[in-house]
Amino acid sequence: MSRQKLIIIIVNYDTLDYIKELIDNFLISLPRFPKIRIDWIIADAEDRFEVEEQKWQKEMKGEFKNKKANYFHFFKIPNRGFAHNVNLSYRLFRQRRGTEYKLEESDLLLILNPDTSLFWTNLEKAIQFMNGTPQAAVAGMALTGPSGQPEKWGHSITFPSLKLFFGRKRFSEPSLSDEPSLVAWISGGAMLVRDYWWRKLKGFDQDFYLYFEDVDFCRRTKEEGGEVYFLPQATVNHRRGGSGISIYRRKKHFYASEARYFYLYRSPTEYILLRFLRFPFKLFYFFRCYLVPSFWKTKIRKAKESIDSERQEGFPRFYSFLSSFIRIPFLKEIWLAVVIFNLILLAEAIWGKMYLSSPLILHYNAYLGIDLYGDTASLFTFPLLALLISLFNLALSAVLFLSKRYTPFVVLPAGISLAFQLTLSIAFLNLLMVNS
């Protein structure tokens, strides 16, 4: 019989120090000759420049060496939500390992938050429970806070409903048992799943960007006949908020996923009432986040630290961005044409200033005749307008490129700018001919 396999998926969101601490502590707690093979999938979902990505890959490969039947795999993935990131990490791992890496029904998958602490003794309890309970499809390890107190929101014996909402239980009604118990759902912060069930249900529903993907997965598991358990003795310490995402963005994603869950599984009346009830909460957290001076002070401080670090290192991120930006097909050629047309407009304005005399016709209409006069200095309005439009579109192209999600549209502002320059150049040339 082949050695049992466990796959651990961790998605990195600027939490590299936490991941190092997590893995170091786990390896120390592991026996010298473990009876299980563990494959760690560490996926970097940060939007990094090329130089940062190379540095991250090199650092991770140098930091973590395969030992004690633990094998490490690193992937760079686009950040499109927790559910997408976990699904893609698993898929990339299976593709890399190929057909030779076969998984049995007894093999397990652990989805783990990066800001946690995991030790072998607790993980072993969860694995032994799954091995001894064939009907268990999903088991949730008990998340505890830094002080060791159990988290209230890590599982529930009932699924979310407005009844729990009005009962101020935040959609969670925890089990009071100290023994493994059947529950409705468990948290995705430390979720142990049979690989068979993960593949059968095709992972998380990626329409949940963040939050409720675990509740949805457990619900679909139970609908297919699987059982979901909570393991209070198999603990995992959770720091919470390690990724540094703002409270408004967390609440925004929570309310959006909450609404999707109610849309899928609750009545239309409950769904509409929930959206109505949540609106004041959204406003409250928006103002709490963005109208508090400390939020902007932190943003400014981080920006200054980033600029200082960039200056000391010789601006590697800037050059990486510039190199990646100009490698986009046709972008460099379009902007070169825009610059040429800007220079043509400037040359036309200088020619008009030197050889034409005031007053000048600046605009005329075929039906109304001349309706705008000006002096020769007014001619420079045209190249100035062209320059401002070019700078605006260049900034828009950079923003689209940095967004990652809208990178395919980077060429669009450049094309619009070129069309504008061409039209303006023809109109300006026509104006000069009329005045001459």
pLDDT tens track for 317-366? 777 778 878 888 888 899 999 999 999 999 988 988 888 877 777 666 65
pLDDT at 356: 81
* Whether residue 363 sits in one domain with residue 275: no
* Whether residue 257 sits in one domain with residue 216: no
Q: Are 282 and 251 in contact (CB under 8 A)?
A: yes
Give the whole-angstrom CA distance, residue 27 versus residue 15.
Answer: 19
φ and ψ at residue 191, rounded to 5 degrees? -105, 120
* Whether residue 77 sits in one domain with residue 179: yes
pLDDT at 2: 73
The residue with greater pLDDT, 389 or 105, is 389
Looking up tokens 């040359």 gives: 347
* Whether residue 170 sits in one domain with residue 269: no
Q: Which of 186, 212, 238 is the last residue of a domain?
A: 238
Number of domains making up the chain: 3
Which pLDDT band, with edges at 50, 70 and 90, does 176 fall under? confident
pLDDT at 434: 77
Is residue 352 domain-resident? yes
Any residues with CB less than 8 A from the CB of 260 and at least 6 apart, and which? 207, 208, 212
* Whether residue 135 sits in one domain with residue 79: yes
Is residue 319 domain-resident? no
- In this predicted structure, the answer to whether residue 45 has a pLDDT above a threshold of 70 is yes
* Whether residue 305 sits in one domain with residue 220: no
Q: Which of 208, 238, 268 is the last residue of a domain?
A: 238
Cβ burial 152-179 (10 Å sphere, 16+ → b, else e): eebbbbebbbbebbeeebebbbbbeeee
* Whether residue 147 sits in one domain with residue 48: yes
Is residue 105 domain-resident? yes
Which pLDDT band, with edges at 50, 70 and 90, does 1 fall under? low
**Of 281, 287, 242, 240, which Cα lies nearest the Cα of 258?**
281
* Whether residue 411 sits in one domain with residue 283: no
pLDDT at 44: 87
Q: Are 432 and 352 in contact (CB under 8 A)?
A: yes
* Whether residue 417 sits in one domain with residue 363: yes
* Residue range of the domain that includes 266: 247-310
Mean pLDDT, the chain, as a whole number?
Answer: 86
CATH of the domain at 80: 3.90.550.10
Is residue 388 domain-resident? yes
Q: State percent of the chain over pLDDT 70.
A: 92
pLDDT at 125: 95
pLDDT at 367: 59
Residue 322's CB is within 10 A of a number of other CB atoms, namely 13
The residue with greater pLDDT, 289 or 263, is 263
The residue with greater pLDDT, 329 or 218, is 218
* Whether residue 420 sits in one domain with residue 273: no
Which pLDDT band, with edges at 50, 70 and 90, does 406 fall under? confident
pLDDT at 143: 92
Q: State percent of the chain over pLDDT 90.
A: 44
Give the whole-angstrom CA distance, residue 18 versus residue 11.
Answer: 11
- In this predicted structure, the answer to whether residue 221 has a pLDDT above a threshold of 90 is yes
pLDDT at 122: 94
Is residue 316 domain-resident? no
* Whether residue 152 sits in one domain with residue 276: no
Any residues with CB less than 8 A from the CB of 231 and at least 6 apart, and which? 125, 126, 129, 139, 140, 141, 142, 180
Looking up tokens 């969860």 gives: 126
Here the tokens at position 259 are 């609404």
pLDDT at 179: 93
* Whether residue 176 sits in one domain with residue 27: yes
**Of 187, 193, 110, 188, which Cα lies nearest the Cα of 155?**
187
- What confidence tens digit (pLDDT) does each residue in 225-251 have? 999 999 999 999 987 655 566 777 888
